Amino acid sequence: MGYRYAIIGATGNVGTEMLEILAESDLDVSEIYAVASRNSVGREVSFGDRTIKCVDLEQFDFSKVDIALMSAGGDVSKKWSPIIAKAGAIVIDNSSTWRMDPDVPLVVPEVNADQVAFAKKG
């Protein structure tokens, strides 16, 4: 059984790259959601050979996902990461928002991938 993913900031440059890399990876993706601001609702993005429509960040039920890949900027991350984690998903954020938080590991997979297991805030 695969993981269920949400890409927050799916219409931005990094979000679209996350979708592309995830589609090309060997990871087992059972569900994929493109999540964006209200302005992008309904906009189509590519996931491999599929096209998916963006859903509204404000309305999305994050209990439907296991992993949330976030690239929507620091303010969005600061507000939404705790909400998403509380819903049960693991949040992987590429902003600098949590960089100095001692309960959030700064992980560079090639250097310290083992630190992922020590995340205390989801």
More confident residue, 68 or 74: 68
For residue 88 the two structure tokens come to: 């049960």
pTM, rounded to two decimals: 0.84
At 29 the pLDDT is 94
At 92 the pLDDT is 86
Task: Name which of 109, 114, 45, 57 is nearest 87 in CA terms.
Answer: 57
Statement: residue 119 has pLDDT above 80: no
For residue 31, what are the contacts with CB-CB under 8 A and spacing of at least 6?
2, 4, 5, 64, 65
